[in-house]
Amino acid sequence: TNKHQFKLTTRLYDDNDDTSSFVDFKIDIHVSDVNDNRPVFEQYRYMAKIDENGLSSVYVGNDINTGRQTVKATDIDEVGNPNSQIVYSIIGGNNNNYWSIDENSGKLVVEVPIDREVMASSVIVVKATDQGVGPLYATCIVNIQVNDLNDNAPE
């Protein structure tokens, strides 16, 4: 048996019978996961840096503080079950569509070259939604700093 399956044997006796006859019943109990846990981000706020004027479709770097992938959420519902499968999306701060997110991995992508003199930083809100019935979600904030490069000649 696995941790979600139990076997139970019950014996019923006939007290009115002098022969003490009995019957055994075998019962299989299967416990199914319900979507009762929401995704949880490793951090509430992430910090990342990118160089200005970079190529588009480049992944945003790792979190400045942890060195890990920019955003990551987990769900403690049963592994392999839709209740624990997470899809990522950007739900705020992406007014100019500068950013996209890989819905499966949570990796943030720069979609257009960004000029530091036009935009020094960006704050976006990322949502992680599980795929269970009655989907549950969590959000986090990603603060992206744009590194200034020496790209303008003196005047």
In order along its 155 residues, the chain shows pLDDT tens digits of 356 788 999 888 877 766 678 888 899 988 888 999 999 999 899 888 888 887 655 566 565 565 566 789 999 998 889 999 999 999 999 988 999 998 998 888 888 888 888 899 999 999 999 999 999 999 999 998 888 876 666 67
For residue 151, what pLDDT is reported?
65
Q: Would you say 123 and 155 are in contact if contact means Cβ atoms under 8 Å apart?
A: no
Helices (H), 10-96: none
Q: What is the pTM of this model?
A: 0.77
Per-residue model confidence (pLDDT) at position 129: 98
What pLDDT sits at residue 39?
97
- Residue 130, number of CB atoms within 10 A of its CB: 24
**Model pLDDT, residue 1:** 39
User: 50: which residues sit within 8 A by CB, 6+ positions away?
Assistant: 58, 60, 61, 110, 114, 144, 145, 146, 147
What is d(CA 117, CA 87) in angstroms, rounded to the nearest whole number? Answer: 33
Question: In this predicted structure, what is the pLDDT of residue 40?
Answer: 97
Candidates 41, 32, 34; CA nearest to 74 is: 41
Contacts of 101 (CB under 8 A, 6+ apart): 71, 88, 89, 90, 107, 108, 109, 126
Residues 119, 133: Cα–Cα separation, whole Å: 40
pLDDT of residue 12: 82
pLDDT reported for residue 11? 86
